[in-house]
Amino acid sequence: MEKSNLILSLGLTLIVGLSMGLGSLLSFFIKGNNKRFLALSLSFSAGIMIYISFMEILPEGIELIEAHKGHETGHILALTSFFGGMILTALLEKLVHKIGGDEHHDHGHDHIHGEHLSNLGIMSAIAIGIHNLPEGLALFTTGLKDITMAIPIAAAILLHNIPLSIAISVPIYYSTKSKRKAFFYTLLVGLCQPIGAILGYLVLSSFFDDVLFGILFSMISGIMIFVSLDELLPTSQKYEDHHISVYGAIAGMMVMAISLVLFGHSH
């Protein structure tokens, strides 16, 4: 593992986390009326995540494990990790729903009811903060192995961090009339991404080898597919006609395909 990759991966994860603060600032101007922007941002990042998961990260994970465990065993372990990532994310979603009472799915642009909005913003912050911990580790781990693969993932996360930050900052801003509070809570949630990266690295760093990287890559691809299908695309379709979401996802896939060719990746 190169030291430069360690520094670059941590820096990339920090920048992505801080982007939620930028999204909070933008929310004071965008607010909820530019629904097409929100829909396209969410679906575009979903397209990026789906494409890179199936075309790059999962194949990379399978290849790394098979090189050490053989074709059959390696393939089974990789696929188990892939679906395991989905199951873990689903369980995490259940936990988030219990904490937030499903409110984090309602982005609060049509419900300006004081205390209810304040609770919605806080519950959204808790839910998204939990979601950001493994996402930060996923980005960081990818960067440790291949920083060029981490850059488009970072772009996808950054793109969907902006609508997620709006889910936190708008309810808190409308209920408290304080831009400072809205910005502070949103930035705190964004910092969960580098925190997740650091904690994960401290726990796993002594175990890093190609097999563990392969398992993590396979799990990451499962996590990203689940988040795209369960969160990004359905939320995008709530903001706009579903065709806009489909077009955004296809555009994300096309951009991802072009960037992978430019970076020289192929599986």
pLDDT given for residue 108 in this prediction:
43
Of the given ranges (6-10, 98-102, 163-167), which has the lowest mean pLDDT?
98-102
Residue 152 lies in a domain: yes
pLDDT given for residue 240 in this prediction:
72
Averaged pLDDT score across all residues of the chain:
79
Burial readout 13-37 (b: 16 or more C-beta within 10 A, e: otherwise): bbebbbbbbbbbbbbeebebeebeb
* pLDDT band (50, 70, 90) for residue 205: confident
Residue 203 lies in a domain: yes
Which domain range does residue 76 map to? 3-22+35-263
pLDDT tens profile 128-144: 777 677 778 878 888 88
pLDDT given for residue 111 in this prediction:
42
pLDDT tens profile 141-161: 888 878 887 888 888 788 777
- The domain tally of the chain equals 1
Residue 29 lies in a domain: no
The whole-angstrom separation of Cα 229 and Cα 238 is 14
pLDDT given for residue 172 in this prediction:
76
Residue 30 lies in a domain: no
Residue 27 lies in a domain: no
User: Is residue 62 within 8 Å of 78, Cβ to Cβ?
Assistant: yes
The whole-angstrom separation of Cα 153 and Cα 103 is 27
pLDDT given for residue 37 in this prediction:
72
Residue 162 lies in a domain: yes
* pLDDT band (50, 70, 90) for residue 121: low
Task: Please compute the mean of the pLDDT values over residues 29-55 and round it to a whole number.
Answer: 76
Residue 228 lies in a domain: yes
Residue 232 lies in a domain: yes
Give the global pTM. 0.65
Distance of CA 25 to the CA centre of its chain: 20
CB-based contacts of 207: which residues, under 8 Å, 6+ apart? none
